[in-house]
Amino acid sequence: MPYRVSHGKPIPVGYSPDEVFSKIRHEEVRFIDLQFTSLPGRFHHTTISADTFTPEQMRDGLPKLDGSSIVGFTEIEDSDLLLKPDPNTYAHIPWMTENRTARMLCDVYWGMGRGRLSRDPRGIAQKAQDHLASQGYESMWGPEVEFFVFDKVTWDVLTPYKGQSYSIESVEAPWSSNGAGYPMGLQEGYYPSTPSDTLTPFRNECVNMLNQEFGILCDNHHHEVATAGQCEIDIRYDSLTNAADSTQTYKFVVRNVAKKYGKVATMMPKPVSMDAGSGMHTNVSLWKDKKNAFFDKDDPDELSQLGRYFCGGIISHARALSAITNPTTNSYHRLVPGYEAPVYMAWSGSNRSAIVRIPKHFRGRGYSALKRLEFRAPDPSANPYLVFAAVLAAGLDGIKKKVDPGDAVHEDIFKMTKSERVKRGIGVLPSSLGEALDELESDRKFLGPIFTADVIDMIVEIEKRDQREVLIRPHPYEFDLYFDV
């Protein structure tokens, strides 16, 4: 795939519709996978024969979607939707070799010329990008997606009167019993060498596929802090919608390569108790006239006033943002002190106990392209289209209202007492999904320029349903705590 350079970063040029049809013919593609994302962030697809795919379908869309069967989309009485392929996202699916298959990401539209589906996450991301452009800016986003790769996972929730349980198997874990590896202790998994790190070949293959087949540049990969196969592969920063597309494709590739290796990958934030969870640290910068608007060479942190206001917006809306950036009940098992997850509403430089960090690896105008905010609260269970759009809305609200984020906190917030945090004005993120949803319902106006009311209402409805399903079931550990009361 050809590349061009934007803000110092090579990114794919993409293809025109005519180029896509030419590639389909010359590369003997047999099937086209039409991929899209539901409101909660699940990846979906339908597959069509390349022999029947026409330029008119590329232009007008394909009537292939019952919106009432996709969580968060439509009701059953009004459910005819169209999938419009984006030719810029055309790529081969490398593990489908017997019948050569390509994919395109799709935008979701109502039928009968009624316009874009407001609950299409990709449409929300594009709306956010357009809203920012109307103010004279563009944005760059770099998600750091962490995930676990296990040898085997089983669970039993379908026989509630028998009990509920889960089991995780990993040759890297301290509870491994097969004696074939060099197990890592809890929170001792950061950057181990091989053979303790058993997943280097797996990550190499993921990076090769993302780089070579999907045009998604990944420049680094490593084992993360947790035991039992926690990984991170870094995606180079890109524009908002492209970065969200890349994140969804990243998850798609990781899961399928794991299957090839006889393993299973999960984006669940906290699958292993008493160990670090998986985050999706979200790096963002605003640009104007080809220059990074967050960079100021005269500031001690080299962060501009615009960047400070953007930071203030994130911090002021962080509790409401949690319902979007941390949308599962499991998310809040990660957001506890002591396991590297940020829970305190403050900003800093290299201090990883704050929810917003200003990375301080380099100084000077030569590195101005790298000046950014790193929002550390999001996790990989979140829908990246919604996360980036919501974080942008919060930051822009901070700029509009000139929200001061306060002084940077250089001390380890985890070691502060509650009274010290209160004195410094350091708030805390919600401790449960229910609390986060309450915050979103009371603080939702800042999302208004980008999110329609029905989208926010549906997010709340879906997540409240999940919360209730967990609340009505006893937790296995409660038997240990309370059986003899």
Looking at residue 175, its amino acid is W
Q: What distances in angstroms separate CA 33 from CA 119, 187, 298, 385, one per listed residue?
A: 21, 39, 50, 20
* DSSP secondary structure code for residue 7 in this structure: T
Please identify which of the residues 120, 151, 172, 224 carries the catalytic annotation.
224
Please identify which of the residues 7, 42, 44, 352 carries the catalytic annotation.
352
Looking at residue 317, its amino acid is H
374 is catalytic: yes
pLDDT at 434: 97
Please identify which of the residues 374, 379, 439, 463 carries the catalytic annotation.
374
Q: b vs e for 437-463, b when ≥16 Cβ sit within 10 Å of the residue's Cβ? A: bbbbeebbebbebbbeeebbebbbebb
Question: Tens digits of per-residue pLDDT, 382-436?
Answer: 999 999 999 999 999 999 999 999 888 888 888 888 899 998 989 999 999 999 9
352 is catalytic: yes
Q: What distances in angstroms separate CA 358 from CA 187, 235, 398, one per listed residue?
A: 24, 18, 17
pLDDT at 400: 97
pLDDT at 179: 63
Please identify which of the residues 86, 172, 197, 232 carries the catalytic annotation.
232
Please identify which of the residues 33, 120, 146, 439 carries the catalytic annotation.
146
For residue 46, what is the enclosing H or E element?
strand 43-49
Q: 42 CB contacts (<8 Å, ≥6 apart)?
A: 71
Helices (H), ranges, 407-452: 418-424, 433-442
Please identify which of the residues 66, 130, 407, 412 carries the catalytic annotation.
66
223 is catalytic: no
478 is catalytic: no
407 is catalytic: no
Name the nearest CA neighbour of 235 among 256, 214, 259.
214
How does strand 280-288 pair with strand 291-292?
antiparallel
> Going residue by residue through the chain (485 aa), what tens digit of pLDDT does each one get?
434 334 445 555 578 999 999 999 999 999 999 999 999 999 999 999 999 999 999 999 999 888 899 998 988 888 889 999 999 999 999 999 899 999 999 999 998 888 899 999 999 999 999 999 999 999 999 999 999 999 999 888 776 666 778 889 999 999 887 766 788 888 888 888 888 899 999 999 999 999 999 999 998 899 999 999 999 999 999 999 999 999 999 999 999 999 999 999 999 999 999 999 999 999 999 999 999 999 999 998 899 999 999 999 999 999 999 999 999 999 999 998 777 788 999 998 777 788 999 987 777 788 888 899 999 999 999 999 999 999 999 999 999 999 999 888 888 888 888 899 998 989 999 999 999 999 999 999 999 999 999 999 999 999 999 999 999 888 888 888 998 99
Name the nearest CA neighbour of 273 among 224, 336, 325, 328.
336
Q: 372 CB contacts (<8 Å, ≥6 apart)?
A: 140, 142, 237, 283, 284, 285, 294, 358, 359
169 is catalytic: no
How does strand 43-49 pair with strand 291-292?
unpaired
376 is catalytic: yes
E-strand ranges in 151-184 read 152-156, 165-169
Please identify which of the residues 103, 281, 317, 372 carries the catalytic annotation.
281
